[in-house]
Amino acid sequence: MAESNQRRTNQGTSTGEIALSVRIITPIVLGILTIALWEFAVRYWQIPKFIIPAPSMIAEALFKDRTVLALSFWSTLKITVAAFCIAAILGISVAVLFVQSKLFEIGLFPYAVILQVTPVVAIAPFILIWVGLDHVERALLILATIVAFFPILSNTTLGLKSVDHNLRNLFDLYGASRFQRLKELEFPSSLPFMLGGLKISGGLALIGAVVAEFVAGSGTDNGLAWRIVESANRLDIPRMFAALLLLSILGISIFFGLSFVENLLLHKWHESAVRREN
């Protein structure tokens, strides 16, 4: 019986390793084939580079302008990470207040929805004027934070409200304080919802930063979005694609980084992350 269980466990482990390898290798192979096909099509049909450049041209632009693009990458990264952190702190804090006070939630939640559904492009000029053209980075940070705020607030609020009522009654039976109930019951139960909101907001913080840079225009000449605008105006399409590639890499890195954190926190106990043997 012990040998059978051990054999079943080993089989499950090997199957899991194969599945993981397939999940990693398949996108890489597909990406390489797509790039090769792209390169072949551009060269075979002699498509002008101002319409669509070949991957080799994009790589060349990435290397040639590496200093400028690296500075732009760092500028956009700083705004994105700072906005995400601020949105996370504010969203989780306000969600806790919503759960603790029904009156607070009724009064403020509609305004949070209004803030979410209002296009950031529409309010960006006002933020730029109020903050001042001498503090463009601060305006970008505010706009990116606004975009990233609501998913964290909404998901965390839902998670805090989704606690099993029987467990809540048990805590009440033992006379647990509000803080004990929040720390030991509500917060751990809401963690999957919260992490889901953080994954969404990570991408939205980057989108908010990029949109804000587009709206700010020449007021910010450091970010990747401005490099895209500048390159398009000069018809330097390979550099435009290089900046777009860096934006994609940044977005993918944020997503997988937050996915890793999610798996790290949930893989031992939550069904969404527990790896099954069969």
pLDDT band at 217 (very low <50, low <70, confident <90, very high): low
The two three-digit tokens of residue 164, written as one number: 């099993």
d(CA 168, CA 101): 17
The residue ranges of every structural domain in the chain are 1-47, 53-266
Q: What is the DSSP letter of 206?
A: H
The two three-digit tokens of residue 133, written as one number: 């053209």
d(CA 217, CA 230): 9
Model's pTM, two decimal places? Answer: 0.86
The two three-digit tokens of residue 229, written as one number: 């605008």
The answer to whether the CB of 87 falls within 8 A of the CB of 148 is: yes
Q: How many CA atoms lie within 13 A of 36 on its CB side?
A: 6
Amino acid making up residue 222 = N
Cα dist. 236→224, 239, 271 in Å?
14, 6, 49
CATH architecture for the domain at 53-266: Orthogonal Bundle (1.10)
The answer to whether the CB of 240 falls within 8 A of the CB of 165 is: no
- 20-61 confidence digits (pLDDT tens): 577 778 888 898 999 999 999 998 898 888 888 999 999 999
pLDDT band at 67 (very low <50, low <70, confident <90, very high): very high
Gap between the terminal Cα atoms of the chain: 18
pLDDT band at 74 (very low <50, low <70, confident <90, very high): very high
- 257-273 confidence digits (pLDDT tens): 999 998 888 877 666 66
How far is CA 41 from its chain centroid? 33
Lowest mean pLDDT of 182-196, 203-217, 263-277, name the range.
Answer: 263-277
d(CA 35, CA 59): 12
Q: Is the pLDDT of residue 6 over 80?
A: no
- The 8 Å CB, 24+ separation contacts for 131-134 are 133/219
Beta carbons within 8 Å of 9's beta carbon, 6+ residues apart: 277
d(CA 174, CA 58): 64
Counting Cβ atoms within 10 Å, is residue 110 exposed (0-12), middle (13-18) or buried (19+)?
exposed
Counting Cβ atoms within 10 Å, is residue 165 exposed (0-12), middle (13-18) or buried (19+)?
exposed
A 10 A CB-CB count for 271 gives 8
**Which is nearest to 152 in space by CA: 236, 220, 89, 207?**
89
A 10 A CB-CB count for 270 gives 15
The two three-digit tokens of residue 83, written as one number: 């906005």
Q: Indicate the angle between helix axes 224-233 and 237-266, nearest 10 degrees.
A: 160
| pLDDT at res. 90 | 95
d(CA 215, CA 107): 32
